[in-house]
Structure formats: C-alpha cells, structure tokens
Amino acid sequence: MRRTTILAVTLAGAALAACQAVSVPDRSYSLGDGVVSYDDLRREGDKCKASGGTIQAKQDGGDPAQLSNYTCVIPRTGK
C-alpha cells in the first residue's frame, strides 16, 4: 500500500512539473519605431484590443512622442 501511495505522489508531482514546464509565451509587443500620431495609436490600439490586449505607455521615462514608448500588453492565459 505504501509503495502505491509513493508512486501516486511521484506521478502527480511529475505531471505538475510537466505542466509548469510548458509555459504560455508572453505575447506582448512594442509598437515599433518612429514618431507617434493619434492615428497610429488608434490603429495599433484596435489591433492590440483584437488580440486581447491594451496599449500601455512604458514606465521607464521614455519619450512619449515615440512609438517605441508604447507596448501592447496581452495578459497570459492558462490555455
């Protein structure tokens, strides 16, 4: 009986480790380079929203006039 319990716990741990090893990749992306315009942000915002994300300005003090200062943040899902 004890061997069966140990085997079951070991297999459950291995299954859990396998699930954790296959992580969902981060699908967030930077909007690119160049000077930002209202139309660029609107277009990229629509594209980002269709992918399940939101546009966010980077928080590291970058130049808000540059597209590279904005990121489409798409949350990870467990699928």
As a whole number of Å, the end-to-end CA separation of the chain is 36
DSSP 52: T
pLDDT tens for 11-34 read 444 444 444 444 445 688 888 889
Total residue length of the chain: 79
What φ, ψ does residue 73 adopt, rounded to 5°? -95, 115
pLDDT of residue 17: 45
**Quick one: pLDDT band at residue 78, thresholds 50, 70, 90?**
low
